Amino acid sequence: MSNDSADIAKALVPYFDGFFEGDVEKLKRIFHPSCHLYCATHDPMTDFDMETVYGRVAGRTKPSERGDPREDGIITIDQSGPECAFAKIYISLGNQRFTDYLTLLKIDNRWQIITKTFTYVARPEVAAL
């Protein structure tokens, strides 16, 4: 892994921890304030701004407290220059397994997610817990 890829992977740690632990402050370390999250798994397409995302995370039971098994990781990182990258990751929360496509920009000398497009499928083994 190149140094930049390692830096991007390190920058994504608060992403995984923040969603699993329900910690909005950790999520704010990786998401740019202007970021939007897009999904078209079910019509119509959804478009969430960060305040909506943070409100949903803060208002739900934390997966870590619920005893959900933690499953997350980086599938690929593709960097097209010193300030632009793409990461495909997976993360499981509750009874859903997400595939997230993250566009990152290096702004103010740190990697930040500027857009997230995602899809998900059921993770039925967790629904039975």
Q: How far apart are CA 74 and CA 109, in angstroms?
A: 22
- Whether pLDDT at 48 is above 50: yes
Query: Would strands 84-93 and 110-122 be described as parallel, antiparallel, or unpaired?
Result: unpaired
pTM of the predicted structure, to 2 decimals = 0.90
Helix (H, G, I), strand (E, B) or coil at 81: strand
- Whether pLDDT at 31 is above 70: yes
The answer to whether 113 and 32 have CB atoms below 8 angstroms apart is yes
Question: 3-127, which class in CATH?
Answer: alpha beta
Cβ-proximal residues to 126 (8 Å cutoff; 6+ apart), any chain: 68, 69, 92, 94, 95
In this structure, what token pair is assigned to residue 5?
A: 């890829």
Q: Give the model confidence (pLDDT) of 55-64 as tens digits.
A: 999 999 999 9
CA atoms within a 13 Å half-sphere pointing along the CA-CB vector of 127: 7
In this prediction, residue 41 carries a pLDDT of 86
What is the rounded average pLDDT of the residues 112-128?
84
In this prediction, residue 43 carries a pLDDT of 78
- Whether pLDDT at 128 is above 80: no
In this prediction, residue 8 carries a pLDDT of 96
Q: How far is CA 68 from CA 20, 73, 95, 120, 122, in A?
A: 9, 16, 9, 17, 14
The answer to whether 120 and 98 have CB atoms below 8 angstroms apart is yes
- Whether pLDDT at 104 is above 60: yes
